[in-house]
Amino acid sequence: MAFEGSRGESSPGEDSVQGIVFNVQRYSTEDGPGIRTTVFLKGCPMSCPWCHNPEGMDPRPELVWYEARCVGVRECLRVCPREALTLTPEGMVIARDRCDACGACVEACPAAALEVIGRKVSAILLAEEAARDETFFRRSGGGVTLSGGEPALQAAFCLALMEILAKKRIPVALDTCGGVAWSKLEPLARRADLVLYDLKVMDEAKHREYTGVSLSLVLDNAVRIAELGVPMWVRTPVIPGYTEDVENIRAVARFIRENLPTVERFDLLAFNNTCRDKYRRLDRIFPLAGQGLLERTKMEALVEAARQEGVESVCWSGAVAGK
Amino acid sequence: MEDREIITPDRIWKPSEALSPRVRRLREEYFSPEKRPYFRNEVMPFTTGTPWDEVFSPINWGVVPEMYPFMEAYRESLKVLARRVDLPDGFWEKSLVLRRALFFREVCRRYLPVRILEGELVVGGHFNTALSKCHNRKEARAWRRAVRKWWRKAQEINQLGLGNAGAIPGHIIPDYPRVLREGFSGIYRDLQQRMERAGDEEKRQFYQALMVCCEAARDLAHRYAEEAGRLAKEEADPVRAEELKEISRICRKVPWEPAETFHEAVQSLWFTHMLVMAAESYPGAGLSHGRFDQYMYPYYRGDLEEGRLDRERAKEILRCFWIKHNYAYDYQSRVLTNQGINSGFGQLMTLGGTGPLGEDASNELTWLILEVIEEMNMLEPKPNVRLHAGTPEELLRRVAGMIARAQGSPFLLNFDENAIRGLAWQGLPRERLWDYAPVGCLENTLQGDDRSGTVDVNVNLAKAVELTFFSGRDQLTGKKIGPNTPPVEKIATWDEFRDAFRAQLLAVLDRVIEVSDAADAIRSRFEPTPYLSAIVGGCAEKARDVTAGGPRFNYITVEGIAFATAADSLTAVKKLVYEEGRVRMADLKKALEDNFEGHESLRLTLVHKAPKYGNDDDYADEVAAWLHRLWTTDVIRRVSPATGRRYRSGYLSWNYWIAYAPSTAATPDGRRRGTFLSNAICPVDGAARNGPTAVTLSVGKLGLETAPNGASHTISFSPSMLRDAEHVEKLMAFLRAYGEKGGTALQVNVIDAETLKEAQRRPEEYRNLLVRVTGYNAYFVMLGKEIQDEIIARESHGL
């Protein structure tokens, strides 16, 4: 399941570790302090039904088609070496069992209607790209955030990336779901200047049901990171019907207070439903497609509840219903 | 996590509830031109009464193409409406400059209406004029001949979409501090001494002309003093009666005598400023205050120390002063909306910046003025904050906080280090550069003695791309207007293509600058403005009018239009034709000829497969930097023969990115004819996809010092990106980094497309919504639909 960073054949050595990255987002203001560049790595051990980055789930590159851009020149069909594409009146059908995301169709399409989500890139090149906003990082106390997906699934790649960035004196934050073996997570956590740590549901059965991963692993890893003395920001997605109840939020807050002394803040991230199209393009089903946004008052109440449990710095962000 | 929340009307920046009833009334009065038949600052034409007289100067409006169809009508109707002024004895025996001065003085003494509005603390209302050129028959004939010739060429380059050029008034920072310090009486004495020493009669008459203008300012102020005195006697309210008495006293004193109190200084400044607009017959555009918080500070401080003034009273005086500037727009109060003309002015007021040693110069008055700006929510005067490495954190926080709350950029932000680098490159004396300030929209100049003719010339850089593809032939008219470069399909290498482009671009510059040279020659010979000459440093020393190279520093600025459209076009050719061979030149030429009809696949390839400027993509940015250097370093080699003013460059593009869209053929960046060109230094709409940091780095890589005028750059943030203090801190850091890595000037819009659409649907609820158009702010709902849609499109792209 885990997708390891593979070594490039042409240029051996630590710097040529390759990874699969699906986005490099600049002026990212929601993934840690200051102005950041967030690197999204492909592949995740969890499969949360509310995931708003579904393109991060599968470790392999995936082809997507943008209906609005397609002008119907059919070059893609002609060049596809595996005959994986069919243009039907309902839209493009991608035979995912045949498509290996080679990108021939992407190159051939003049309209940029096809895209391979996830590109293979060496750590050294990616570090260069991620470091371009260095001045903005320095001015804002920002840096690079490794997110995903789950970065620890590409541990070797991330480690190489972190080493290069450290040489450039660029702070790196690790955004992890915690659902990976400690042996993978530890080296990254040790190198990180900050860990953004997701705690979702504080009930073992529910956690397994929703994410496919054991809660105890996640909690154990959290405690170990705190023991390393690395500063942490805990983040909880507030999802209607899953994680939203006040007792769950209180439980997360209590866990923070009792077990995670290095936590600097606790962020509550309101559910958002803007990812519907992403699911459709990946031929995945978004289980929460019909779910509306939360109320502002609800988020404020949860923040208050978390504070009552003794966590000082609690924030919420995200889209809410109404004005 | 994109959170697209519409800004509801209650969150739109609007005037403060705490404004005094006085100011609220004055503000409302300004915004209701239909309810004040007793006072509209509309253009008042005045004539010498000769049959050959002219009161309107087309060269002054040469850069406003939307006025071209009406130019004759303006000229004729103003002449018909003009009031005849009784001329003093011996008028026609005097030199032209002295005639102009005498005429101006007569108008100030006897003809300009004098009205004081209810409650106002700063007076001086009617200043929109169309003054006689005061030509004798011979001069009139020569002027007409020269203007006719200029006009033919101006229309031609405009129709061809090459650009436009004129001799534009305003766009200068007069030496206001000197008027405050010495009064016009001091300037008068200096001129008198010069006159006594002058050898020849022409010089004597020049000095005399300037002296007459000093008297004109005194005499008009005295008429206001009379009026205030009269009103004081009639006033029932004893508080207001006292105010009127004080106004009367002040107007008796300033601007003739030096100002001693804050109130006197503000009043002196306003008279001096409004009379420039009257003397040039040009309402407001670009006539700028310079570093107001610096030269007004001693008066403010002095009054506070003496107990003559408190903070609140100072603000009340400033609020009254603020409203005055907006009356410049009254000349079109009956026209209201147009292509952004209703807001294209900029009486720029500079705040902050450095002292001579690079130390921060902001003071208490800076902070006070920020409050006034926030409370007033008006277009004018347009505030500008100079930021530098040493700008205090609290000041930056205050400025960033206002930006976050104000939708349309409440300020022009100027970045001192980058601006100064350009002015040094231009060749201005290094010891003066710390004291620069911008005029108009964002054009950097020195204060008090620099006329840099900003916006006098506007050149469509993308037109040279069209001419390269068709060996100098304009596609719309079929006219051969550029040199005979080789057929583009025969050009084998990128280097040769670049050579052909260079030849075409330089020919475009030749053509447009020729029109500017002609306008500059006409103005310098036939249209002296002695009043302005009296308050611009250098004119008295050189005994030359401000229009004729009198100021210590004289330049004419060429503003580049459609920079990114041209740059992306060149990049697409380099990459797709010459490097990858993906596109055949002959096919590309045919597609441009056909305006991409039947070539959609090729058009999309151009759009999607070539890198674009504005993404921090070194490939595209390198081509852009080449283009930037090419034209800016050519411009600086040119000089206007009539006055010796050297040309320099900048990026402004006002609304020309719309105006020249139909006259610029399809371009190799995939743009069809008619699609808007790119704006100032900004990327093509929708082309920049990597956010504000990437676009900043792209702009910074151009090496903007060779465009010393400065470059207009607008970035939009969605409101959610600046929703709280934490995010405002990030904006502050962004601005600091912009100063380090970006361009010379920035405007930040905090708005999203959804809010603007809502404002289109419910204009009455969004009356206060200010948006940044290019170098200037405008009330969104007052703009024409076309520009509104354009701004919505821009915000939809998130940049």
Q: What is the CA radius of gyration of chain B?
A: 26
Q: Which residues of A touch B694 (CB under 8 A)?
A: 26-27, 132-133
**DSSP character at residue A321:** B
Contacts of B499 (CB under 8 A, 6+ apart): B485
Strand partners, B179: none
On whether residue A322 sits in a domain, the answer given is no
Largest distance between two CA atoms of chain B: 86
The three-state secondary structure class of B691 is helix
Looking at the structure, do residues A33 and A182 belong to the same domain, yes or no? yes
Highest mean pLDDT among A203-207, B61-65, B70-74, B343-347: A203-207
On whether residue A123 sits in a domain, the answer given is yes
Looking at the structure, do residues A289 and A264 belong to the same domain, yes or no? yes
> Would you say residue B570 has pLDDT above 50?
yes
Q: State pLDDT tens for residues A4-34.
A: 444 444 444 445 799 999 999 999 999 999 9
Least CB–CB distance from B692: residue in A27, A141, A269? A27
Looking at the structure, do residues A124 and A258 belong to the same domain, yes or no? yes
Q: What is the ipTM, given to two decimal places?
A: 0.93
Q: Report the residue of chain B nearest A319, measured CA to CA.
A: B3
Least CB–CB distance from B691: residue in A27, A269, A319? A27
List the end-to-end C-alpha distance of chain A, in Å, as a whole number: 43
Please report which confidence band the pLDDT of residue B754 belongs to, taking 50, 70 and 90 as the band edges: confident
Q: Which residues of B touch A112 (CB under 8 A)?
A: 604, 607-608
Cα gap A63→B233, rounded to integer Å: 84
Among A70, A95, A117, the domain boundary falls at A117
pTM of the model: 0.94
Cα gap B170→B166, rounded to integer Å: 12
Average pLDDT for residues B71-99, to the nearest whole number? 95
Average pLDDT for residues B759-763, to the nearest whole number? 84
**B-proximal residues of A, 77-106, CB under 8 Å:** none
List the end-to-end C-alpha distance of chain B, in Å, as a whole number: 17
With 0-12 / 13-18 / 19 or more C-beta atoms within 10 angstroms meaning exposed / middle / buried, residue A8 is middle
Strand partners, A120: A20
Cα gap A173→B752, rounded to integer Å: 30
Domain span at residue A75 reads 62-117
On whether residue A66 sits in a domain, the answer given is yes
Number of domains in chain A: 2
Looking at the structure, do residues A182 and A300 belong to the same domain, yes or no? yes
As a residue count, chain A comes to: 323
Least CB–CB distance from B737: residue in A29, A111, A139? A139
Looking at the structure, do residues A82 and A151 belong to the same domain, yes or no? no
Looking at the structure, do residues A80 and A91 belong to the same domain, yes or no? yes
As a residue count, chain B comes to: 799
Q: B522-538 burial string, b = 16+ CB within 10 Å, else e? A: bbbbbbbbbbbbbbbbb
Average pLDDT for residues B204-213, to the nearest whole number? 98
Average pLDDT for residues A245-270, to the nearest whole number? 97
Looking at the structure, do residues A108 and A253 belong to the same domain, yes or no? no
In 3D space, the residue among A175, A204, A167 whose CA is nearest the CA of residue A192 turns out to be A175
Q: Is A285 on the interface with B (CB under 8 A)?
A: no
Q: State pLDDT tens for residues A48-67.
A: 999 999 999 999 999 999 99
On whether residue A4 sits in a domain, the answer given is no
Flag if B604 and A136 touch (Cβ within 8 Å): no
Average pLDDT for residues B692-707, to the nearest whole number? 97
B326 dihedral zone (left: phi>0; alpha: psi -120 to 50; beta) = alpha
Q: Is A13 on the interface with B (CB under 8 A)?
A: no
H helices within B443-584, ranges in order?
463-469, 494-526, 530-534, 539-542, 563-572
Q: Is A29 on the interface with B (CB under 8 A)?
A: yes
Flag if A140 and B601 touch (Cβ within 8 Å): no
Looking at the structure, do residues A55 and A169 belong to the same domain, yes or no? yes
CATH code, domain carrying A85: 3.30.70.20
On whether residue A323 sits in a domain, the answer given is no
> Would you say residue B776 has pLDDT above 70?
no
Looking at the structure, do residues A193 and A258 belong to the same domain, yes or no? yes
Pick the residue of B3, B12, B396, B701 with the most A CBs within 10 A to test the interface with A by mutation: B3
Flag if A132 and B694 touch (Cβ within 8 Å): yes
Q: Report the residue of chain B nearest A322, measured CA to CA.
A: B5
- Average pLDDT score, chain B: 93
Those residues of chain B whose CB sits closer than 8 Å to some CB in chain A are 1-6, 8, 600-602, 604-605, 607-609, 616, 690-694, 697, 721, 727, 729-730, 733-734, 736-737, 740-741
Among A72, A95, A117, the domain boundary falls at A117
CB pairs under 8 A between A and B: 81
CATH code, domain carrying A266: 3.20.20.70
Flag if B693 and A319 touch (Cβ within 8 Å): no
Flag if A29 and B730 touch (Cβ within 8 Å): yes
Residue type at position B203:
K
Looking at the structure, do residues A91 and A177 belong to the same domain, yes or no? no
Least CB–CB distance from B697: residue in A34, A132, A141? A132
Average pLDDT for residues B714-725, to the nearest whole number? 85
C-beta of residue B682 within 8 angstroms of C-beta of residue B564? yes
In 3D space, the residue among B735, B746, B685 whose CA is nearest the CA of residue B710 turns out to be B746
Q: State pLDDT tens for residues A69-128.
A: 899 999 999 999 999 999 999 999 999 999 999 999 999 999 999 999 999 999 999 999
On whether residue A6 sits in a domain, the answer given is no
Looking at the structure, do residues A142 and A50 belong to the same domain, yes or no? yes
The tokens describing B599, both together, are 């070539």
User: What is the least distance, in Å, from the CA of B386 to any CA of chain A?
Assistant: 18
On whether residue A197 sits in a domain, the answer given is yes
Cα gap B723→B178, rounded to integer Å: 44
**B-proximal residues of A, 176-215, CB under 8 Å:** none
Looking at the structure, do residues A238 and A150 belong to the same domain, yes or no? yes
Average pLDDT for residues B156-165, to the nearest whole number? 97
On whether residue A151 sits in a domain, the answer given is yes
Contacts of A219 (CB under 8 A, 6+ apart): A178, A199, A255, A259
Please report which confidence band the pLDDT of residue B1 belongs to, taking 50, 70 and 90 as the band edges: very low
Flag if B1 and A35 touch (Cβ within 8 Å): no
C-beta of residue A309 within 8 angstroms of C-beta of residue A253? yes
